[in-house]
Amino acid sequence: MNINIFEEIRLLATSYNLDYIFKGLLLTFELAFGILLVSFFLGVCLALLKTYGGKIPEKIITVYVEIFRNTPILLWIFICFIFMPFNSKLLRASSGLCLVSAAAICEMVRGGLNAIPKGQLEAGRSQGLNLIQIIVIIIFPQAFRRIIPNLINQMISVFKDTSFLGQVSIAEFLYCTKKIMATANVSTGHAVMPMDVFIMFGFAALIYLVINSILSAIARTAQKKLIAH
């Protein structure tokens, strides 16, 4: 059987398939964005509590971070998928990723907060500001600037990790691509060939590669600016 690769791509690119994959990609974007937003908020709260919250919260949050750093992401997706008290399948599955990502962001923000000299806190105190004012006005903006490159890298990992959600049958990008690949015979009219695997997964790889390369280029530029600063 001799089939031209361009012919194969034309056969695979039916409007139904394209629409299906595009929807998956859109869902992946939405998921990544939502997870980042929630986990950033969670991570910042945890980091602030750990740095300024006293001994007991510090211990608890250290344990939280250690647990999530030393167990696989997929396990948390499964656990949250079953035990989280949300009605929506999407929310339950993505909350697992939120927890994992929050632990990572917590460590980043804490590193950023620690890099701010102690004297600034004392200076703020001497101006009569309370702790919350000092954090919001003085410390956090500086810490945030320091961690921007790390945050962009976290964006890349979250974007990649959304592909785990296909394991609990969330129709994200990779899940859709795999499904089209496995049922390629419907659109091509012959049994699935290695070429179909290359076309479909190669396409998915290209999309991931382009988006993440752009993000990592931005992260590198931000890092350079930071050092120059």
Sites of contact with another protein (CB under 8 A): 66-67, 69-75, 78-79, 82-83, 156, 160-161, 163-164, 166-167, 174, 178, 181, 192-194, 196-198, 201-202, 204-205, 208-209, 212-213, 216
Instruction: Provide the minimum distance between the beta carbon of 115 and another protein in the complex, in angstroms, as a whole number.
Output: 13
Identify which of residues 82 and 123 has a Cβ nearer to another protein in the complex.
82
What minimum distance in Å lies between the beta carbon of 124 and another protein?
27
Minimum gap (Å) between residue 12 Cβ and another protein: 14
Q: Minimum CB separation from another protein for residue 106, in Å?
A: 15
| Separation CA 155–CA 157 (nearest Å) | 6
Question: How far are the Cα atoms of 21, 48, 111, 138 from residue 121, in angstroms, in the given order?
Answer: 51, 14, 16, 8
SS3 string, 90-149, reads HHHHHHHHHHHHHHHHHHHHHHHHHCCCHHHHHHHHHCCCCHHHHHHHHHHHHHHHHHHH
Please, where are the H alpha helices in the chain?
Answer: 5-12, 15-52, 55-69, 73-83, 89-114, 118-126, 131-133, 140-161, 173-182, 184-188, 194-228
Of 134 and 174, which has the nearer Cβ to another protein? Answer: 174
Q: Identify which of residues 144 and 201 has a Cβ nearer to another protein in the complex.
A: 201
Select 13 or 79, whichever has its Cβ closest to another protein: 79
**DSSP label at 88?**
-
Smallest distance, another protein to C-beta of residue 131, A: 28
Distance CA 46, CA 106 (A): 6
Nearer to another protein, 62 or 127 (CB): 62
Question: Measured from the CB of residue 204, what is the shortest distance to another protein in angstroms?
Answer: 6
Cβ neighbours, 10 Å, residue 153: 20
Residue with smaller CB distance to another protein, 19 or 66: 66
CA distance 166 to 169: 5
Q: How far is residue 114's CA from residue 108's CA, in Å, rounded to a whole number?
A: 10
